[in-house]
Amino acid sequence: MAGIGISAYGVYIPRYRLSRKTISTAMGWLSPAALPGEKAVANHDEDSLTMAAAAGIDCLKEADRVGVDGLYFASTTFPYREKESAAIIATALDLSPNIRTADFANSLKAGTGAIVSAYDSVKAKGVRGILICGSDCRLGKPASSQEMVFGDGAAAILLGRSGVMASLEGWYSTSYDFSDYRRSEDDKFVRTAEDRFIREEGYAKFIPEAISGLLRQYKLEAKDFAKVAYPCLNLREHAAIGKRLGFQPDQLKEPLFTVIGEAGAASPLMLLVAMLEEAKPGDNILLVSYGNGAESLFFKVSEEIEKVRDRGRLKKYLAFKKELTSYEKYLAFRGIIPVEMSFGGEVAPTQLPLTWRERRAILALYGSKCKRCGTTQYPPQRICVNSDCGAVDEMEDYCFSDKRGTLFSFTSDHVASSINPPLLYGMIDFDGGARFVFELTDCERDLLKTGMPVEMSLRRKYLDEPRGIHGYFWKAIPLRE
Amino acid sequence: MPEGIKDKVALIGMGCTKFGELWDKSAEDLIVEAFQEALEDAGIEKKDIQAAWQGNQFTEINIGHSALPLATTLKLPFIPVTRVENLCASGTEALRAACYAVASGACDIALALGVEKVKDLGFGGLPRANEDIVSLGTRGRVIFPNWVNPNPGMFAMMAIRYFERYGLSIEEGKVALAKISVKSHHNGALNPKAHLRREVTLEDVLNAPMIAWPLGLFDSCGVSDGAAAAILARADTAKGFRPDPIYIKALQIAADSGESLMHKGYDYTHVETTYRAATRAYQEAGIKNPREQISMMEVHDCFSITELVTYEDLMISPRGKAKEDIDAGFFELGGKIPCQPDGGLKCFGHPIGASGLRMMYEMYKQLQGKAGPRQVKNPGLGLTHNLGGQPPQSVCSVAIVGL
């Protein structure tokens, strides 16, 4: 019995990378600071919620979703200020409504906070497992160092009692009212204190304090850990902290700074996944989050880790990338500069009773399967679409979000109103039947071929701006393999 | 097979405005203009009309709901007036309703009028369609792609399937489609009422900006303002109004059952509703061999690919062989079955609700020998075809008229 810990993990990195050189080429006239590498940036139809859902889906690929009794979503960039994002993700992931959901907000250590809370729930009650998704999509003001540093991404873990590959053995938390990063009610961009002040008074003190505190509390030493990981706000300081604490360079998990960037509340979870992908049974691993203090978590890796089928997921996502060569396009995608969309772009009022009534068809991509003839169909039908059948009310629910398909036909629509024209869409033939038309994303037309395999991805399909409604739906993407 | 309405109803008068970007004209102006021409052509008075149908799709642009716009504009004297809407087939739906009323004996003389004032929209193309178009109601807004209008892309995907099935490269396919547009531009240039009156070359068409890959600007029809009207009378009384009435031989509608959108069985290289409506129309008209018996036609060329597959769905060209007929000039003005003698949607223009009646106006004038430089030699039967929606979710009308 390995105790309570991680039963499954998942990760998601958006497809686009913005080279920091692209930023300095565009904004260097104002801010000469240059940093190495690139940062991952969400596509125009992605936000923290869709990326969290993608990581959650990745996590549940190797887990039994029946054992998921809760979903916690940690982020500082929820689409809604009031309205629970975790409930949207739970619906999209087709989890039972009889579960506990919660958003863990406002701090970069929200991700580790969610893990510790989930641990308490699993330990105290009859809760089998809690899915924790961490995702962030923070904006630095153009020409700020945050713009260079921040990257987008998500990770998820299932915390429970069965099949535990890494048990949570202990933690150490600190909390300080330290003004490093903040956003008030109407702030779009993260405001910061002076970089040196954050580094010297916050980062360089809180991380060591949380690690030393944990070592002291559990009577451990630096050498007891196979790997230690903590977020990277600054490459030089990141290395210096490890050295001061007595960690050897090979114990220090290299940060994802030059390939993803600092991903906010998702950062510790992504680092945890990075460590798990390389961990061996018996390893002790140490994870630290930073934000208004710090939190260190200590895991012990079990033999279960060797049962994980796919342990190259982070690498796969890192390799699956496309450089966003236009800085202006990045600004437009993130809504930083207003752009003239072609006429006809206005969206009609969202009909909320409809989206509530049909939430399973919309958010979980449920259609129906005819019990008489076996024909699957989307959206759900009362009368079978197969004209040789025509059965009435003999349908069972059928989920398409996890089904692969092939591209039957496709087009690029140059007269659609899109922030990333031309709009791509195609007819998708699902494996196991059914055809419907879906938008295509994370690809360009010249990558598309009829007959190619596709999978489904939850995206923000539209923003009903006058009413402040984010419309989430599924799009098809070329199969990532 | 029911008896049908062959030779029970006759067109005794028709009118059609010039189509185009008619910034200075309202829907009322267009209604009055089309109606007065039809009335004079029929040689009757307004009080002789006993029932009327108004066909239009976009109530929200200029026209408004109900049939009151037609009744009020024309000051129709408290007769039954009804608005019908079935996407791009709305004009032919108005005609069908009027014909059925006359054929049933419910009235002796009826009016069908189609009108659309699309250019008041304020941007090119058609209104954002997710709210009101096609089979899924307002659910479509949430689950269909974020197109402004699905038509270009949904027809473009038919071109991709068609090319692939019949072994045409994109380039070869585009050339076949371009010839369709060049032909329609030639005919439109001869027509004073057409919206676009300019000849284009194959190169113009092939080099045009992309609308929805692989369809370019000249593969797509214009969007216009306009109105057209028809006055129908019982066939046995028609010669009392004029020596050359034109008789309705068949009028059929087919609406998709949802299979083409949601079922994998659909090949996307044809439009099933066209095939079904045409099959029934030929039966109603007693036509055994359409390629030999139809003299000319106006088909719904919203896009060049639509016209190409329509040749096959109407059973004029064998499956997969439309390109051979196109290359042979079969559908040109001097060909075996001239198609789009008035320029088609491509050049005459496409005010949605008026288009079905505009097509009929051309068949009517051709059969009466009044088509001027576009006159087809000794036509006997003319066919019109309207397609509302897009290949996977469409409403199709096929009408056949003759002497």
The answer to whether the beta carbons of residues A272 and A213 sit under 8 Å apart is no
Contact A343 B212 (CB under 8 A): no
A445 contacts in B (CB within 8 Å)?
213
Average pLDDT over residues B296-315: 98
Q: Please write the tens of the pLDDT for every residue from B104-149.
A: 999 999 999 999 999 988 777 777 665 545 667 788 888 999 888 8
The answer to whether the beta carbons of residues A40 and A323 sit under 8 Å apart is no
The answer as to whether B135 is a domain residue is: no
The answer as to whether B132 is a domain residue is: no
3-state secondary structure of A150: strand
Q: What's the confidence (pLDDT) of residue B131?
A: 52
- Which helix (H) or strand (E) is B275 found in, with range? helix B272-285
Is the same domain home to B200 and B343? Answer: yes
- Chain B interface residues facing chain A, Cβ-Cβ under 8 Å? 122-125, 127-128, 130-131, 136, 138-139, 141-149, 152-154, 156-158, 160-161, 164, 209-213, 257-259, 261-264, 266, 268, 392
Which residues of B have a catalytic role annotated?
88, 350
Nearest by CB: A411 against B146, B213, B264: B213
Nearest by CB: B131 against A348, A434, A473: A348
The answer as to whether B173 is a domain residue is: yes
Choosing from B194, B210, B245, the residue where a domain stops is: B245
Contact B264 A381 (CB under 8 A): no
Average pLDDT over residues A117-129: 92
Structure-model confidence comparison of residues A216 and B135, the more confident one: A216
A357 contacts in B (CB within 8 Å)?
none
Place of tokens 């060591």: A208
Average pLDDT over residues B305-322: 98
Our CA-based measurement puts residue A263 at a distance from the nearest CA of chain B, in whole angstroms, of: 29
Is the same domain home to B199 and B53? Answer: no
Give the count of domains, chain B: 2
- Which helix (H) or strand (E) is A16 found in, with range? strand A16-19
Average pLDDT over residues B331-344: 98
The answer as to whether B44 is a domain residue is: yes
Our CA-based measurement puts residue B270 at a distance from the nearest CA of chain A, in whole angstroms, of: 14
Is the same domain home to B196 and B259? Answer: yes
The answer to whether the beta carbons of residues B143 and A350 sit under 8 Å apart is no
Mutate to test the interface with B, among A357, A376, A413, A458 (most CBs of B within 10 A): A413
Q: What's the confidence (pLDDT) of residue A1?
A: 45
b/e per residue A146-179 (b: at least 16 CB within 10 A) = bbbbbbbbbbbbbbbbebbbbbbbebbbeeeebe
Is the same domain home to B34 and B77? Answer: yes
Confidence of residue A344 (pLDDT cuts 50, 70, 90): low
The answer as to whether B2 is a domain residue is: no
Domains of chain A: 5-333 (3.40.47.10), 352-365+400-478 (2.40.50)
Is the same domain home to B234 and B120? Answer: yes
Q: Is the peptide bond before B214 cis (omega within 30 degrees of 0)?
A: yes
pTM: 0.95
Give the end-to-end CA distance of chain B in Å, rounded to a whole number.
24
B156 contacts in A (CB within 8 Å)?
411, 413
Q: Please write the tens of the pLDDT for every residue from A179-210.
A: 999 999 899 999 999 999 999 999 999 999 99
Cα dist. A362→A91, A349, A366, A458 in Å? 10, 17, 7, 10
Place of tokens 């088909």: B299
Confidence of residue A471 (pLDDT cuts 50, 70, 90): very high
Mutate to test the interface with B, among A365, A403, A414 (most CBs of B within 10 A): A414
Is the same domain home to B91 and B74? Answer: yes
Which residue range forms the structural domain that includes residue B358? 151-219+247-402
d(CA B341, CA B374): 6
Contact A343 B123 (CB under 8 A): yes
Is the same domain home to B289 and B377? Answer: yes
Specify the pairing of strand A366-370 against strand A376-377: antiparallel
The answer to whether residue B338 scores a pLDDT higher than 90 is yes
d(CA B277, CA B297): 15
Average pLDDT over residues A99-120: 97
Is the same domain home to B385 and B284? Answer: yes
The answer to whether residue B236 scores a pLDDT higher than 70 is yes
Specify the pairing of strand A453-464 against strand A469-478: antiparallel
Is the same domain home to B383 and B283? Answer: yes
Is the same domain home to B276 and B166? Answer: yes
Q: What's the confidence (pLDDT) of residue A346?
A: 67
Is the same domain home to B182 and B324? Answer: yes
Contact B268 A429 (CB under 8 A): no
Is the same domain home to B198 and B233? Answer: no
A427 contacts in B (CB within 8 Å)?
157, 268, 392
B219 contacts in A (CB within 8 Å)?
none
Q: What is the mean pLDDT of chain B?
A: 95
Q: What's the confidence (pLDDT) of residue A66?
A: 86
Distance of CA B298 to the CA centre of its chain: 7
Nearest by CB: B259 against A387, A413, A450: A387
Instruction: Find the CATH number of the domain harbouring B21.
Output: 3.40.47.10
Confidence of residue A345 (pLDDT cuts 50, 70, 90): low
Residue B28's nearest CA partner among B81, B70, B61 is B70
The answer as to whether B141 is a domain residue is: no
Residue A465's nearest CA partner among A351, A349, A355 is A349
The answer to whether the beta carbons of residues A60 and A119 sit under 8 Å apart is no
